[in-house]
Amino acid sequence: MSMTTKNLLVELFVEELPPKALKKLGEAFATALSEGLKEKKLVNADAGVIPFASPRRLAVHISDVLSTAPDQEVNEKLMPISIALDKEGKPTEALRKRLAKVGRAEMADMWPKEEDGPDRLFIANDGKSDAVFLRSLAKGTSLQVGLQGALEDALAKLPIPKVMTYQLADGWSSVNFVRPAHSLLALHGAKIVHVSVLGLDAGRETRGHRFEAAIDPISIRDADSYAAQMRAEGAVIPCFAERRAEIERQLNAAAAKVGGGVQPLADDALLDEVTALVERPNVLLCQFEPEFLQVPQECLILTMQANQKYFPLLDAAGRLTNQFLIVSNISPADPSKVIGGNERVVRPRLADAKFFFDQDCKKTLESRVLALAKVVYHNKLGTQGERVQRVCAIAKAIGKKLGGEALALRAEQAALLAKADLLTDMVGEFPELQGIMGRYYALHDGLSGEIADAIEDHYKPRFAGDALPRNPVGLAVALADKLETLVGLFGIGQTPTGDKDPFALRRHALGVVRMLVEAELKLAQSELLQAAVDAFPDTLIAKESGKDGGKEGGPLWKLVDIYINERAVGYWKEKGYSEQMVDAVLEATHLPIEHALRLAAVREFNALPEAAALAAANKRIQNILKKVDGEVEPVTSPYLFQEAAEIALNAALGEVEPVADAAFDAGDYTASLKSLAALKAPVDAFFDGVMVNAEDPNLRANRLGLLARLRRAMNRVADLSRLAA
């Protein structure tokens, strides 16, 4: 059989696809189709795959596709040898029946067939016992059959946001797909592969741009000429990535033409969406009246990007200009009508933004605070007004810890005003601007830049990699806001489950971790959580679980503490620390500001040859002390030591303890942990030669006291037992 290969092109031509889903649909179609052909052995695992996706087509080019897959040797287990062969080694009736069932009755009379080949019976071990196998040659799948199956599977697997049901041309049957499909193209080299889906039979014809195609329909010569023909004859750039790059190139070229360091505002999501809206992009420069620039630029940018899919132009200082770029799907000789139309459309949008801003400025933020009492926050947690009071109390407590009474008062003021912009017209129209508008209105009201920045920043960090609040007031309010949310929702049993996290508690918890660590705040997590719990009345939340509250029992602050620490583990794992290292440090301190230093020390300690044995000994000590009723005090009497090993360990501990403690008190955690290496030999000898639970109670208490001293000395930096395998 000839094993020559040709390139394959498959295209589904459809009505305009949903723009936000197009990129994913194109990639999924190409991947699923190529994987389906690989399973059928019609394509090599490393074959080149090029996805195409434009507003009206999903297509894929796959290189080196066989017209027929190679024949495959198949080994089929028939039955155990004890059933298949009689005492003389001849086929039994059971084997004959089984062979007849698979259409190979004649094979029984050919047993045993010694020569090797693809068509024979043989004995082999199936992992438990010897069995009779049938080796036969399965005919390779033809491309037509393989592609038909792969195409059906690929369409079934597409991540379609919403399925449409539409009638086919016959007027009777209907099919389900993301949008009505009009034609199917399937070419292996220059030859049509006769497959059919969605009521369409494959051919070589497709259609180009709705208005600007030079030829309609377009007859594709062969798989490799598709992209070039679509460009030349169809006025379409079918490749998503190429079209996106062309839009970027044109945007930058148009901005350069304006000059003065003007740049288009980069936005990946908008670029993807616009790429999914046009088949052949044509970037044009438009403008609006300069007086609209009196409105905060975030409002104008948002209305241009979200509502109009335009690209605002910023000057060299990052300020919005009164010019913007549009990506048109048509390229008329005189673009003035397209430009004029887009300028006419954007004007009322900008006028609305200006009206909202002017109206909002007539009332101060402070005058809006009382009205928050009428806005429901959560049916079990009361109104936004009540929530603001709680956030104020927590922010004040945090401010006091960070910078005394002065900072506490400023944090309380910022917290009081932080949610007031929710009642403005602008935020009502554009909820994404909450906080941002609060800052503008605070400055308009004559408040300090520090308070205004804190109002905007209290939502930060809003996503992974987002900036932290820029001043201590903002940090206090942002922490208070997130802690109030966490404690309140945990307190009414609204904890995240699996993938469901409707209140973004994971994001809030990670925000708390990042602020405490990266802003280097000298705040104990346990104290912060207790302050947050104290801000709630007892009637509102379950402060001890067992009522509505958490799942594991214990005080509410502890449940939230465990949850935040779970996020901290993920945070530090991304920075290269193991889960055991992070657990060890989190167990030893409630001060996140210490985590980075202690983790670095634990990593260095872990590299010591003595580390594993000391961690294992530490775990053993923990287990022994756990079984004792009551707390064991780290106190020993030198007169009660009897065995040489315990005398030696006491002496070694006497030398190591002051060194480790001095290094710890000086903040040199690495030196503190490394000094413990000297304890390995005496600790090993102690466990080999000393019975801790001696019958004499005084002796036993003394040995337990020695272990408690050892635990205290070893676990000041981190709970080393967590490092034990």
Q: Is residue 262 part of a domain?
A: yes
Q: How many domains does the chain have?
A: 5
Is residue 571 domain-shared with residue 628, that is, in the same domain?
no
The residues facing 192 across adjacent strands are: 187
Q: In angstroms, how far is the first alpha carbon of the chain from the final one?
A: 57
Tell me if 378 is assigned to some domain: yes
Do 716 and 692 belong together in one domain? Answer: yes
Tell me what the pLDDT averaged over the chain comes to: 90
Please indicate, yes or no, whether residues 632 and 657 belong to a single structural domain of this protein. Answer: yes
**pLDDT band, very low/low/confident/very high, at 104 (cuts 50, 70, 90):** confident
Per-residue CA distances from 259 to 252, 262, 543 (Å): 11, 6, 61
Residue 164 lies in a domain: yes
In a domain, 597, yes or no: no
The pLDDT, as a whole number, for residue 553 is 62
Same domain, 537 and 557: yes
> What span, in angstroms and rounded, lies between the C-alpha atoms of 323 and 290?
9
CA neighbours closer than 13 Å in the CB half-sphere of residue 153 = 16
Token pair 């190139």 in the structure block, residue: 249
Please tell me which residue, 191 or 125, carries the higher pLDDT value: 191
In a shared domain, residues 400 and 526: yes
pLDDT at 41 over 90: no
Sign of CA dihedral 238, 241, 244, 250: negative
Question: Is the domain of 173 the same as that of 32?
Answer: yes
Higher pLDDT, 174 or 33: 33
- DSSP letters, 14-47, are ESPPPHHHHHHHHHHHHHHHHHHHHHTTSB-TT-
Within-domain flag for 591:
no
Are 46 and 166 contained in the same domain? yes
Q: Is 38 in the same domain as 148?
A: yes
Q: Is residue 216 part of a domain?
A: yes
429 shares a domain with 528: yes
pTM comes to 0.79
Q: Is the same domain home to 409 and 552?
A: yes
> What CATH code is carried by the domain that includes residue 610?
1.10.730.10
What does the pLDDT look like over 638-671, one tens digit per residue? 888 888 888 998 999 999 999 999 999 999 999 9
State whether 182 and 308 are in the same domain: no
416/545 same-domain check: yes
In the predicted structure, residue 97 carries a pLDDT above the cut 80: yes
Tell me which residue of 531, 551, 723, 543 sits closest to 622, measured CA to CA: 723
Q: What is the pLDDT of residues 301-356, one digit of tens each?
A: 999 998 889 999 999 999 999 999 999 999 999 999 999 999 999 999 999 999 99
Q: Which domain covers residue 629, as residue numbers? A: 606-723
User: Which of 234, 268, 302 delimits the end of a domain?
Assistant: 234
pLDDT in tens, 382-435: 999 999 999 999 999 999 999 999 999 999 999 999 999 999 999 999 999 999
pLDDT in tens, 519-529: 999 999 999 99
